[in-house]
Amino acid sequence: MTATQDAPHTSPQPAAPAAPLDVEALVDRIDAGHRLTADEAVAVLGAPDADTFRIVAAASRLREKHFGRTVKVNYLVSLKTGLCPENCTYCSQRLGTAAEILKYTWLKPEEAVKQASMGIAGGASRVCMVASGTGPTDRDVDRVTGMIDQLKEQHPDVEVCACLGELKDGQAEKLKAAGVDAYNHNINTAESHYESICTSHTYQSRVDTVQRAGAAGLSSCSGLIAGMGESDEQLVEAVFALRDLDSDSIPVNFLMPFDGTPLEGHWELTPLQCLRILAMVRLACPDKELRIAGGREMHLRSLQSVGLQVANSIFLGDYLTSEGQDAEADLQMIADAGYTVLGAEKREQAADSGAEPGGCCGGSTAACGDAADEAGVDASAEGRASATKPELRRRGAGTAEPANA
């Protein structure tokens, strides 16, 4: 008998189950200076649905430490919609889109300022000025800086975030000199997943613009879109890239697959998954502004206010090419959850002193960035709660109809 024959037969042993995620202890370590690891982040995303509220509750400690119980309200003005030469699969404004969206070229400066003022009256402390397209010409930058001059003259304390696409040399500096506070350019997804969603430009070109804006002294606003077929590992890769880029503000969009786009009918997220994604971003970037952006109404649904336990920022009302939840309902949701709109006390004091009040006008807003209206929802997934397709925006900027009221 050979040595092999003499050896006792043993069956392969199953791998030991992973230890349950001790998220409370993890938050303690993060609060003491620990940086979330990729394995820990994947564990958060893969946690059982039953553990989700425990994860959110633990992560909320970091949110409250750095941001208290305030919610920053952002308002978007879509300066130019549609007509984009890029082929991003998620976007209703892409080259050759069959989505029945509004398409218009540049708003007049007075109309842009009027739209922005609606958001400010509704409580927005930041206005996002967004234009579709690959990137601005120098003439386009001059056009936008003129709008910002007028806006800042009327509302000197408002933050302005510009989102105009890829920047060329000198353009970020010109925007900064005009009073722009931040620049948005989303990386959207992991570098390893990027060619699956876009081939007309590269992931690196997006990173270059984020870095160019930061080098000019603009606050970095860069985020992602979840639900485009990426793995949990790729979602973590994207969030960690944003952490490495030191993005000050991170908008998290949830894909809304508009009819007429290549991702039409693509639906893979649940409300509890969305909460775990938000919690993971908070754990990875504990002191950064985390914004629930496009798709929150359709993907978080009745759990939108739970998302505020880890996110400290939202967009109010409508999105770039789709209608969102009524703006008054957004503000009521914030109040009902026990939060206050950032800057509300200052505005109330100004109103009491006889200054122009900043009451809610229910203005139309959108998710900051070229990925904001990339979110959508389709009711085709088995076992999902019923959801409607995104309502295309037919009001506000670029129309004769008043903004979301």
Tell me the per-residue pLDDT of 98-144, one tens digit each, with 9 for 90 and over: 777 788 899 999 999 999 999 999 899 999 999 999 999 999 999 99
DSSP of 37-93:
PHHHHHHHHTS-GGGHHHHHHHHHHHHHHHHTTEEEEEEEEEEEBS------TT-TT
- pLDDT tens readout for residues 344-353: 877 666 656 6
DSSP state of 358: -
Residue 72 has pLDDT above 50, yes or no: yes
Q: Is the pLDDT of residue 9 over 60?
A: no
> Using an 8 Å Cβ cutoff, are 74 and 368 in contact?
yes
Quote the pLDDT of residue 391. Answer: 75
DSSP bridge partners of 182: 161, 219
Selected residue with higher pLDDT from 149 and 96: 149
How high is the pLDDT of residue 380?
37
Greater pLDDT, 326 or 161: 161
Which segments are annotated as binding site for [2Fe-2S] cluster?
A: 128, 161, 221, 291
Tokens, residue 242: 């944003």
Pairing of the two strands 70-80 and 313-315 = parallel
- On the question of pLDDT at 276 being above 70, the answer is yes
The whole-number pLDDT of residue 365 equals 37
- Residue stretches of the annotated binding site: 84, 88, 91, 128, 161, 221, 291
Give the pLDDT mean for 352-366: 43
SS3 assignment, position 163: strand
Domain range annotation of the chain: 43-374
Domain 43-374 fold:
TIM Barrel (3.20.20)
Among 311-320, 375-384, 385-394, the range of highest mean pLDDT: 311-320
* Greater model confidence, 371 or 204: 204
Binding site per annotation, positions for [4Fe-4S] cluster: 84, 88, 91
Q: According to the model, what pLDDT value does residue 355 have?
A: 52
* Per-residue model confidence (pLDDT) at position 345: 72
pLDDT digits (tens, 9 = 90+) for 36-66: 999 999 999 999 999 999 999 999 999 999 9
DSSP 107-131: PPHHHHHHHHHHHHHTT-SEEEEEE
